[in-house]
C-alpha cells in the first residue's frame, strides 16, 4: 500500500496495465512528452515510448475513431479526452460506433476501448472545463460508465476497465485529483464493476453519490449525525452496470433517499435512480426521493459554487426528507 493522490493512482493504474500487456496503449492530446495536462500520463512516455503513448493531432473524433480501429484489430487502446467538455466531436464515434460495434456485428467485432476523461466543476474552469455529462453515456446501450472517488478505486476501477471486454467511459473527478489522498494497493488491484461501496452505514436516510460528490456527502453525513440523523453514504462507483440490488436494499433499510450529483437535474442520472426506487422500493419509502444537483443552467464560471451541490444543500435536503415523516 502506498499513500497517493487520485491522479497518481490513475497514473499507477495505467503503468500497471501497460507493464502487464504490450497490447495496452494510450493515445490523446499532450499525453506523451508532456505527461498530460493533468499529469495523469506522467513518465509513461519515457517508460513505454512513442509507439505506446501516442501524442495525436487535436481531434477528438480522430482519437476515438483511431482507438476503435486499434481495438477492432485486437489492441487495448486507452483514449484520453483532455476534458469531458471537449468530447462532443467524438460523440458520433462513441455513440454510433464504439457503443454499437459488438451489437451491430452480431458479436463478430467486439470493440474494447477505454475512454478516460476528467469531468466536473470546482476548478474555475467555466462552461467548458467543468461539465458533468455522464448521463449522455449512461443512456447509450453498449457503454459502461465508471467514476471513482478514491485513489484506490481510481486504480482498481481503471484496471477493471482496461481488462473488461466492452467499451468503458472512465470519468475522473478532476476537482479531487489532488485534494483526496489515500492508500492504494500495489500491483494488479482491481475493483469489480457493478458493486457499490458503502462509504458510511446509516439507518435514517441514504445519500447516493459518486465521484467528486462523495466528499461533500460524507461531510453532510457527519453534520447530520451531530443532529441525531444517521445517514448512509453509498458511492455508486459504476453507473453502468448499476448495482441496483444494493441501491434498493439500502432504501429498504433507511426508507429515505437523497441523490447527489453535480450534473444538471433534468434527465440527470438521479432521475434514473429515483425511477428505480419508485419501481422497486416504493413501499419502503417513508418520504419523497430528493435530488441535490447542479441547476438546469449551463455551468457558470464566477458563480460555480452557487451551481455545485455543497454540504449545506445536501444536509438541508436530507434533513427535510427525514423531518417530513
- Part of the chain binding other proteins (CB under 8 A), chosen from 96-104, 128-136, 177-185, 253-261: 96-104
Q: Which of 4, 10, 24, 68 is the binder for other proteins (CB under 8 A)? A: 68
DSSP 8-class letter at 143: -
Q: Which of 37, 89, 139, 223 is the binder for other proteins (CB under 8 A)? A: 89
Q: Which of 4, 14, 18, 25 is the binder for other proteins (CB under 8 A)? A: 25
- Please report how close the Cβ of residue 16 comes to other proteins at its closest, in angstroms: 20
The torsion angles phi and psi of 146, rounded to 5 degrees, stand at -120, 140
Distance, in Å, from the CA atom of 184 to the CA atom of 187, rounded to the nearest integer, reads 9
Q: Please state the length of the chain.
A: 325
Which 3 state secondary structure label does DSSP give 235?
strand
Q: Which of 37, 39, 42, 75 is the binder for other proteins (CB under 8 A)? A: 75
List the x/- string, 225-254, binding to other proteins by CB under 8 A.
---------------xxx-xx---------
Dihedral sign of CA atoms 281, 282, 286, 289 in order: positive
Q: Which of 26, 31, 102, 122 is the binder for other proteins (CB under 8 A)? A: 102
Residues in contact with 44: Cβ distance below 8 Å, sequence separation at least 6, in sequence order: 11, 14, 15, 18, 26, 31, 35, 52, 53
Contact between 34 and other proteins by CB under 8 A: the answer reads: no
Distance, in Å, from the CA atom of 149 to the CA atom of 262, rounded to the nearest integer, reads 14
- Please report how close the Cβ of residue 283 comes to other proteins at its closest, in angstroms: 19
- Please report how close the Cβ of residue 47 comes to other proteins at its closest, in angstroms: 16
List the x/- string, 167-206, binding to other proteins by CB under 8 A.
---------------------------x------------
Distance, in Å, from the CA atom of 123 to the CA atom of 97, rounded to the nearest integer, reads 32
DSSP string, 275-289: HHHHHHSGGG-SS--
Give the residue numbers marked as catalytic: 129
C-alpha cell at 211: 465521484
Q: Which of 17, 26, 67, 322 is the binder for other proteins (CB under 8 A)? A: 67
CA R_g for the chain: 19
Q: Is 185 exposed, middle or buried (CB count within 10 Å of its CB: 0-12, 13-18, 19+)?
A: middle
Contact between 62 and other proteins by CB under 8 A: the answer reads: yes
- Part of the chain binding other proteins (CB under 8 A), chosen from 12-20, 103-111, 286-294, 317-325: 103-111
CB nearer to other proteins: pick between 68 and 152: 68
Closest CA to 31 of 41, 21, 22, 19: 41
Q: Which of 92, 186, 227, 296 is the binder for other proteins (CB under 8 A)? A: 92
Q: Within 13 A of 68's CA, how many CA atoms are on the CB side?
A: 20
Residues near other proteins (CB under 8 A) are 25, 51-52, 54, 56-57, 59, 61-62, 65-75, 77, 89, 92-93, 96-97, 100-110, 141-142, 144, 165-166, 194, 240-242, 244-245
Amino acid at each position: 500500500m502506498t499513500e497517493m493522490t487520485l491522479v497518481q493512482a490513475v497514473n499507477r493504474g495505467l503503468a500497471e496495465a501497460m507493464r502487464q500487456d504490450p497490447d495496452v496503449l494510450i493515445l490523446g492530446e499532450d499525453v506523451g512528452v508532456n505527461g498530460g495536462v493533468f499529469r495523469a500520463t506522467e513518465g509513461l512516455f519515457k517508460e513505454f515510448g512513442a509507439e505506446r503513448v501516442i501524442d495525436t493531432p487535436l481531434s477528438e473524433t480522430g482519437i476515438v475513431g483511431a482507438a476503435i480501429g486499434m481495438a477492432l484489430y485486437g489492441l487495448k487502446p486507452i483514449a484520453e479526452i483532455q476534458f469531458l467538455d471537449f468530447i462532443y466531436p467524438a460523440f458520433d464515434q462513441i455513440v454510433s460506433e464504439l457503443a454499437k460495434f459488438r451489437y451491430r456485428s452480431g458479436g463478430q467485432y467486439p470493440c474494447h476501448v477505454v475512454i478516460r476523461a476528467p469531468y466536473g466543476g470546482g476548478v474555475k474552469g467555466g462552461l467548458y472545463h467543468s461539465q458533468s455529462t455522464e448521463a449522455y453515456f449512461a443512456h447509450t446501450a453498449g457503454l459502461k460508465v465508471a467514476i471513482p472517488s478514491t485513489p484506490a478505486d481510481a486504480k482498481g476501477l481503471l484496471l477493471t476497465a482496461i481488462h473488461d471486454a466492452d467499451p468503458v467511459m472512465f470519468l475522473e473527478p478532476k476537482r479531487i485529483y489532488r485534494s483526496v489522498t489515500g492508500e492504494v494497493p500495489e500491483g494488479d488491484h482491481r475493483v469489480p464493476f457493478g458493486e457499490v461501496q458503502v462509504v458510511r452505514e446509516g439507518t435514517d436516510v441514504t445519500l447516493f453519490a459518486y465521484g467528486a460528490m462523495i466528499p461533500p456527502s460524507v461531510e453532510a453525513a457527519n453534520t447530520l449525525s451531530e443532529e441525531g440523523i444517521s445517514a448512509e453514504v453509498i458511492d455508486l462507483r459504476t453507473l453502468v452496470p448499476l448495482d441496483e440490488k444494493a441501491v434498493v436494499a439500502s432504501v429498504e433499510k433507511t426508507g429515505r433517499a437523497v441523490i447527489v450529483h453535480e450534473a444538471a437535474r433534468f434527465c440527470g442520472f438521479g432521475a434514473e435512480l429515483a425511477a428505480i426506487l419508485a419501481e422497486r422500493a416504493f413501499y419502503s419509502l417513508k418520504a419523497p426521493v430528493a435530488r441535490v444537483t447542479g441547476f438546469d443552467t449551463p455551468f457558470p464560471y464566477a458563480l460555480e459554487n452557487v451551481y455545485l451541490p455543497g454540504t449545506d444543500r445536501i444536509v438541508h435536503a436530507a434533513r427535510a426528507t427525514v423531518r417530513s415523516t
